[in-house]
Structure 1
């Protein structure tokens, strides 16, 4: 996945979950934040960030905040649209007969439906941007939607689908993702039930470039 044009800036503050103030070349700009999560451990005053410049002159904000340089760790892509894009690229490089995004199943829309021969697959994708001591955690805020999707996958697995929840690790150097039970205990409990039912937990390790994000390794986490 490649961004159109990346510029560097310095984070100032975030008045709400949709916008932030960022200094670019000495000028304070209001930018769109491509992640509605809290990201409080990432978006600290003075932190170096990367922004994608839009080519849409009618937009209210010219830039999208897509990555942040976490002190002592490195660059973290925090674009919430990126995980599905890189997973789509990854899946298209495999030998599935059919791939469909936003697949309607039960009361939910699951990110990916795949078919290979007579085997049907369902995959829900989550982006991981929260890191503590070299370990990734999800979610960074309570996610009732995430719990709902896990329950749908658990039901589907029991009906014969091959189901998985995939965590796209939007940073380098992290090879494990744990449920953030301090923030949302129910997500951790539901994930455990799903795994016991046979739902796989897949980790996608990524390479984070200045203007790219690419999956370089897939791992099934026990």
Structure 2
């Protein structure tokens, strides 16, 4: 996916989870943050951020904040923090055969039980490589937390995430294919793992899901200020 009209700026403050104050070419701008998570390790005063200029005069906020440079021992790491981006790039990747087959049907936002799962797929031509079923569900999770080149999820407790995993287990037990896909919104990670220190219940639910036959996939992305694309799978350590 590609963002139009990218501008660089300097992050100053985040008065609430929806907006950030950013200096752009010497001017203070109030920007919409396209991620309502905490992101405390990312949005550090003085860091470099990247914004989409909407050129829309009727919007309350002219800019959307979509990426940030995180300083580290090896230099700055560019991280896409747009929470809507993982579903978009996963949909493109899956439709092009990333799951091992080109789906006959790929439908977003499907309900199973009392949970809404990000994607439902069908593949009716035989020969599927990833799943032993001709239909199934995939829940997509964006990952922006990095520590020592290890990607971790979540960055804050997520009861909703646990509920999604339980729905995938139920779907698997009912005969569907089921997977949770972690779209890692940065490059150069050694592996991805659950963040047990922040939310141990999610890590336990993820391991239960894997034992129940739910596929656990992590996909590393290539990130530039104005693009995000899936590059390759990376290992998952449970």
Aligned equivalent of 2:121? 114
User: In structure 1, what is the Cα distance between the partners aligned to 2:32 and 2:181?
Assistant: 26
Aligned equivalent of 1:192? 207
The total of aligned residue pairs comes to: 222
Aligned equivalent of 1:208? 223
The answer (yes or no) to whether the contact 1:96–1:116 under 8 Å persists in 2 is: yes
Indicate yes or no: 2:147 matched with 1:140.
Answer: no
Deviating more after overlay: 112-121 vs 2-11: 112-121
User: In structure 1, what is the Cα distance between the partners aligned to 2:192 and 2:16?
Assistant: 27
Indicate yes or no: 2:87 matched with 1:84.
Answer: yes
Aligned equivalent of 1:26? 26
Displacement of 1:58 in angstroms is 1.2
Q: Which runs of 5+ in 2 are unaligned?
A: 125-132
What does 1:1-222 align with in structure 2 at a 5 Å threshold?
1-72=1-72, 73-94=76-97, 95-117=102-124, 119-219=134-234, 221=236
The answer (yes or no) to whether the contact 2:138–2:179 under 8 Å persists in 1 is: yes
Structure 1 vs Structure 2 CA RMSD: 1.2
Displacement of 1:196 in angstroms is 0.4
Q: TM-score, normalised by structure 1?
A: 0.97
User: In structure 2, what is the Cα distance between the partners aligned to 1:221 and 1:74?
Assistant: 21
Q: Which runs of 5+ in 1 are unaligned?
A: none
Deviating more after overlay: 210-219 vs 184-193: 210-219
User: In structure 1, what is the Cα distance between the partners aligned to 2:63 and 2:8?
Assistant: 11
